[in-house]
Amino acid sequence: MVDVVLIFMLPNFNYNIKFQPQGVLYLAAALEKENVDVKILDMTINFWSKEKTLKFLLKEKPKIVGIGAMSNQLRDAVVYAKYFKDNGLQSKIVLGGPHVTLCPDFVKKFKMFDYGFVGEGELTFPKMVNDLIRGKKVKKIVYGKKVENLDSLPLPAYHLLEMKKYRMPHTSKIFSTMITTRGCPYSCDFCNVPKLSGRNVRFKSANTVVEEVRLLNEKFGIEWIMFTDENFTIYEKRVAKICHLIKKERIDVEWMCETRNDLVNRKLLSTMYKAGCRGIGFGVETGAESVRKKVKGTSPTDKTIIRSFNLCNEIGIKAIAFLMFGYPGETKEDMKKTSSFPHLINADSIFSNPNFFLPKTPIFEKSVRDGLIKKNMWNKYASGDMRHVPIYLPNGMTHKELLKIINNCDTKFYLRPSSLSKRLKINNFNDLRLLVRNSKDFLVEFNDFADHVFKSDYQIKRFLYPYYRKR
């Protein structure tokens, strides 16, 4: 028996990425601090059917089942919660995470959820849980208090996950995610991070960050860390201190992070490289500067992007371009520019995605005002009335056309001989020999390559049509 089971919902497409869900890890740590017994089910790892999950829950008899879901995971959250309720689960079901934070009324329409939890959970969810356990009355929608001092939080409850099951492209090493900031001061049209976490960036101190790195390395054997902060390098001094401490404490890890192209420079990149940074994902978004200007603002320009990619190439950090297709006013010509841009900037890898119509983003709000979409489209998606996850289709383009463009972009990029040899770092016979010797890395690289080239269409289908996969 356990007090709380936290479920991180299924990913609805076969991302070649399996990341530890930091949100529920932080929640679990906060609950454990209050002596609440908690278990985590990460569906992105175990892919349990609703029947199997219910069986587990009926055995564990938790007082509370907490489900964390992004907007694109809503339909599964609804299907699972309804199934639990219809089949005798007595636990109270609480929905938390980004979607309900943006659209709190969601739980009033979808009655399989007893409660909705809005915002950050660490300071408020433990009290809610205690109230529910003691049979006290709790409001239908509970609002979480923002955590002002991230250093005051207990470290995420990594011990509740099977850490070795997680993986990411670019490495065969044992890997974990970490997140060290909350909030973003920028205002890209397609993104709802500033709405979710605020414009004011809250940081963990370098000491706390490195303490977590050390714990992951020593206790869980983690050799590779992915910092999933949106703009890891936004405060240069803090990153330099993190690098200094990793080196000083001789922690044997390599790592990656994500940031904007206008938030790096030669000095910082070379400090990062020396402390183990081996990859950076940049939000390039589009190869058409005029479109980028509209959705992201005046920066980063093409020039800034090219410069940062060149610097990474020079220093030895893999530079990954995140691309999106489907912006207001974007033409097929613009999309062609996006497809060829990674070649121009000499990217090591790309991630191309359609632009989600994420609720409460500037693009979403404007499209509702312009009568392009209905405000309740995510409810329709959640209930199954809408077949696929809402994505932005510019200028009357069809889904099929957009997906084809995205697939072609991937195929064109990954099938270039220079791209393959760069990914595999084969410049001469000796490189080839080393690669074969280190066959695990070879397989990882080959798997990523194959995923992009042969299965990208299949992946995107799974992401757009959640019921593609039988469960």
When the beta carbons of 5 and 191 are compared against ligand SF4, the nearer one is 191
Q: Which among 182-190, 323-331, 343-351, 356-364 is the span making contact with ligand SF4, rule CB under 6 A?
A: 182-190
283 in contact with ligand SF4 (CB under 6 A): yes
8 A C-beta contact, residue 323 and residue 291: no
Within 10 angstroms of residue 211's Cβ, the number of other Cβ atoms is 16
Residues 255-274 binding ligand SF4 (CB under 6 A) are: 260
Instruction: Please choose which of ligand B12, ligand SF4, none residue 196 contacts, taking the beta carbon within 5 to 8 angstroms, the exact cut-off set by kind.
Output: ligand B12
Output the smallest distance, CB 181 to ligand B12, in A: 8
CA neighbor of 158 nearest in space, from 173, 179, 172, 144: 179
Among 29, 30, 112, 184, binds ligand SF4 (CB under 6 A): 184
Output the smallest distance, CB 296 to ligand SF4, in A: 6
When the beta carbons of 118 and 191 are compared against ligand SF4, the nearer one is 191
Output the smallest distance, CB 19 to ligand B12, in A: 4
305 in contact with ligand SF4 (CB under 6 A): no
Instruction: Please choose which of ligand B12, ligand SF4, none residue 414 contacts, taking the beta carbon within 5 to 8 angstroms, the exact cut-off set by kind.
Output: none
Instruction: Please choose which of ligand B12, ligand SF4, none residue 21 contacts, taking the beta carbon within 5 to 8 angstroms, the exact cut-off set by kind.
Output: ligand B12
How many angstroms separate the first and last alpha carbons of the chain? 27
Output the smallest distance, CB 185 to ligand SF4, in A: 7
When the beta carbons of 117 and 381 are compared against ligand B12, the nearer one is 117
Instruction: Please choose which of ligand SF4, ligand B12, none residue 72 contacts, taking the beta carbon within 5 to 8 angstroms, the exact cut-off set by kind.
Output: ligand B12
Output the smallest distance, CB 459 to ligand B12, in A: 10
Among 191, 263, 317, 319, binds ligand SF4 (CB under 6 A): 191
9 in contact with ligand SF4 (CB under 6 A): no
State the SS3 of the chain.
Answer: CCCEEEEECCCCCCCCCECCCHHHHHHHHHHHHCCCCEEEEEHHHHCCCHHHHHHHHHHHCCCEEEEECCHHHHHHHHHHHHHHHHCCCCCEEEEECHHHHHCCCHHHHCCCCCEEEECCCCCCHHHHHHHHHCCCCCCCEEECCCCCCHHHCCCCCHHHCCHHHCECCCCCCCEEEECCEECCCCCCCCCCHHHHHCCCCEECCHHHHHHHHHHHHHHHCCCEEEECCCCCCCCHHHHHHHHHHHHHCCCCCEEEEEECHHHCCHHHHHHHHHCCEEEEEEEEECCCHHHHHHHHCCCCCHHHHHHHHHHHHHHCCEEEEEEEECCCCCCHHHHHHHHHHHHHCCCCEEEEEECECCCCCHHHHHHHHCCCCCCCHHHHHHHCCCCCCCECCHHHCCHHHHHHHHHHHHHHHHHCHHHHHHHHCCCCHHHHHHHHHCHHHHHHHHHHHHHHHHCHHHHHHHHHCHHHCCC
Q: What tokens were used for 346?
A: 């000499």
Instruction: Please choose which of ligand SF4, ligand B12, none residue 308 contacts, taking the beta carbon within 5 to 8 angstroms, the exact cut-off set by kind.
Output: none
Instruction: Please choose which of ligand SF4, ligand B12, none residue 24 contacts, taking the beta carbon within 5 to 8 angstroms, the exact cut-off set by kind.
Output: ligand B12
Output the smallest distance, CB 447 to ligand SF4, in A: 28
Instruction: Please choose which of ligand B12, ligand SF4, none residue 194 contacts, taking the beta carbon within 5 to 8 angstroms, the exact cut-off set by kind.
Output: ligand SF4
8 A C-beta contact, residue 41 and residue 76: no
Count of residues that interact with ligand SF4, criterion CB under 6 A: 11
Among 10, 100, 188, 284, binds ligand SF4 (CB under 6 A): 188
Output the smallest distance, CB 265 to ligand B12, in A: 23
When the beta carbons of 12 and 271 are compared against ligand B12, the nearer one is 12
186 in contact with ligand SF4 (CB under 6 A): yes
Output the smallest distance, CB 189 to ligand SF4, in A: 9
Instruction: Please choose which of ligand SF4, ligand B12, none residue 283 contacts, taking the beta carbon within 5 to 8 angstroms, the exact cut-off set by kind.
Output: ligand SF4
Mode of pairing for the β-strands spanning 202-203 and 181-182: antiparallel
Site string for ligand SF4, 209-238 (x = CB under 6 A): ---------------------xx-------
**What's the half-sphere exposure (Cβ side, CA atoms, 13 Å) at 169?**
23
Instruction: Please choose which of ligand SF4, ligand B12, none residue 124 contacts, taking the beta carbon within 5 to 8 angstroms, the exact cut-off set by kind.
Output: none
Output the smallest distance, CB 58 to ligand SF4, in A: 40
Residue nearest to ligand B12 (CB): 96
Instruction: Please choose which of ligand B12, ligand SF4, none residue 17 contacts, taking the beta carbon within 5 to 8 angstroms, the exact cut-off set by kind.
Output: ligand B12
**Residue 127, class by beta-carbon neighbours within 10 Å (0-12 exposed, 13-18 middle, 19+ buried)?**
middle
The site for ligand B12 (CB under 6 A) is made up of 11-12, 15, 17, 19, 21-24, 26-27, 44, 66-68, 70-73, 94, 96-99, 101-102, 117, 120-122, 125, 179, 191-193, 196-197, 228, 230, 353, 356, 358-359
With a CB cutoff of 8 Å and minimum separation 6, the contacts of 10 are 43, 44, 47, 73, 76
- Rounded to whole angstroms, the Cα distance separating 365 from 375 reads 8
Q: Give residues in contact with ligand SF4 (CB under 6 A).
A: 184, 186-188, 191, 193-194, 230-231, 260, 283
